[in-house]
Structure 1
């Protein structure tokens, strides 16, 4: 019985220690700097607060150039573009779409995305994981409509209109990362073994080689 009491007491103590922290930043800001000394927080060194300026929290975003194969351009505003985002757990992107332009299937490994359509009409969607039968959740969005893409799930946006479209998306990370599925599978460095890809997609080697040529 004493052993049981000891285990209960130990687990209670361990639990209190595990949750005894403040999940919020412990300073007003931690502007990132490219230095090798100072206070290191969340992957970046912090600028001396006395040297911080308004420009550390500012950037300007121009319309993206959509004259490419996909007809879209994603312009990120992460901690790389605004040093003041460091430790704040948020970022955004502007996405420009030519008529029929596509932001291809991709994932953000470190952030949930919430998107609002500023101009145009988009067909958007995400695919649930295997445990949820790879269910596709899709919807056509018009100006002012908002849609959420859960963290880590494959998602896309397609401009289904005949005019340019614009969307703004917020992400729950200062550096959410992005993995474009086709690029990762068929344009990796070095290339993934054709034996792996032919078996995974159940196609012959010529199909895989043709796909790889698109990403050279």
Structure 2
């Protein structure tokens, strides 16, 4: 009899449970550790689930000759809470996305134009995994690992990237080391690089000290 009572309670609880199909980001509300708050369902429209920002090419006229156009929760409210997002990668000839990590997500990259050399470094033994990808080929980058992408063609290369989080996060190693006010002496001691080289890189990337 006890078993039937427990089963009945579970069925009732399940029937009364609130099922939320989606949580469109309320961009006007503060963002917390769990992401954005949900927009009221009465204010959600089909436009919240459509994003056109990946149609056009990004601006690659910068020091790395690359552009990453995100479709994260801040740009694409419909992905909030769904555990995924996208981005577009444009790499001009000689373009590169330097060593970087996404602390909050794994990444899948599919080349849609040109050719891209990409790779990542394992955290256990620093083994390097690289491949040159042609149009239609795909590579996965595990969460949190250092990885890079380089244009391997003589023309602009393009890729679409999917992440396993609506906000994967980003830290580019070169900018983390040389685009801040961390004293050159400390950078030298922690990287074993020559201070003169560090100052040169700080000058190029906008760092000080």
User: Could you state the TM-score of these two structures normalised by the residue count of structure 1?
Assistant: 0.81
Where do 5+ consecutive residues of structure 2 fail to align? 1-17
Q: Which moved more, 1:119-128 or 1:57-66?
A: 57-66
User: In the alignment, what sits opposite 1:93?
Assistant: 87
User: In the alignment, what sits opposite 2:172?
Assistant: 180
Match status 1:80 vs 2:74 = yes
| 8 Å contact from structure 1 (residues 114, 171) kept in 2 | yes
User: In the alignment, what sits opposite 1:63?
Assistant: 57
| 8 Å contact from structure 1 (residues 92, 169) kept in 2 | yes
Pairwise CA distance, 1:109: 0.4
Q: Output one character per residue of 1:11-55: Cα deviation in whole Å (capped at 9) or x when no partner.
A: xxxxxxxxxxxxxx9410111114459xx8933221111221011
Paired residue total? 186
Q: Output one character per residue of 1:108-129: Cα deviation in whole Å (capped at 9) or x when no partner.
A: 0000000000011111100111
User: In the alignment, what sits opposite 2:11?
Assistant: none
| 8 Å contact from structure 2 (residues 49, 76) kept in 1 | yes
User: In the alignment, what sits opposite 1:157?
Assistant: 149
Pairwise CA distance, 1:203: 2.9
User: In the alignment, what sits opposite 1:48?
Assistant: 40
Q: Output one character per residue of 1:133-188: Cα deviation in whole Å (capped at 9) or x when no partner.
A: x1110011101110000000111111111111110010000000110110011112
Distance 1:73 1:50, change over 3 A: same
Give every structure 1 segment of 4 or more consecutive aligned residues whose post-TM-superposition deviation is greater than 6 Å.
Answer: none
